[in-house]
Amino acid sequence: MDFKSIEKKIKTKEKLSKEEVEFFLDTICENAINIINHPTLENTCDAFQGLIGDYLQSLGLKIYPCITNKVISENVIGHSFLVVSFKEYGQDDYIVDPSFLQFLCLNDNYKDLYIHGLRVKSFSPFYYANNINKKLLLEFLKKNYMVLNENSAYLYGNAFMQTKVSIKEGTNIPYFDGIYFIDRFHLGSEKLRDYGYPKLSEAFSTEKIKK
């Protein structure tokens, strides 16, 4: 499968197969990870959102840059991610988030902590996602993206919802259904940030692209 031919199809609004979309996303995520080049990916979510989002927008793709504190709930772990739509091309929307892997790498740094009966620190989103749907989580961690549907939105949204702080000890945080989070994710309109990394379009020259 040829990346450049898929890129051309996107620019000219031609239909894509699921295999083409996922090869395209595989290539983008791999190159973005190589560009940012961080051992644990800690605090890289804004950089990934800006780097990948800028490239997707340059091709004319519809994106929804999200931050958890706005599209999921206040007082949860702050984290930036992207939803990208391939609906124009006959395919699905996708959650794209290579930096979610940091919550696996740093999972031992998180704990459920209460001071004077008030929660000030929670387990990581990985911890909660692993309890919700371990199989889907492992697929997501391996690929760095997943189709946005009721199951994936339920996993992703509730994994962060459960990190909510400033609540009284013993409070049960509700689990919202996937449709609720799908609607919320489509409200994402954060400003993309540029941290000075090389552009993905530069990596996707014939000489530099990694497949």
Amino acid at 93: D
Question: Which residue, among 186, 134, 183, has the nearest Cα to 155 in the 3D structure?
Answer: 134
Burial class (CB in 10 A: 0-12, 13-18, 19+), 204: middle
CB 146 within 8 A of CB 83: no
The mean pLDDT of the chain is 95
Alpha-carbon distance of 184 to 188, in angstroms, equals 7
Name the residue ranges covered by the structural domains of the chain. 3-203
pLDDT in tens, 79-105: 999 999 999 999 999 999 999 999 999
Please tell me the distance from the alpha carbon of residue 7 to that of residue 96, in angstroms, as a whole number.
17
pLDDT for 118-166, tens place per residue? 999 999 999 999 999 999 999 999 999 999 999 999 999 999 999 999 9
Query: Cα–Cα distance between 208 and 202 in angstroms, integer?
Result: 8
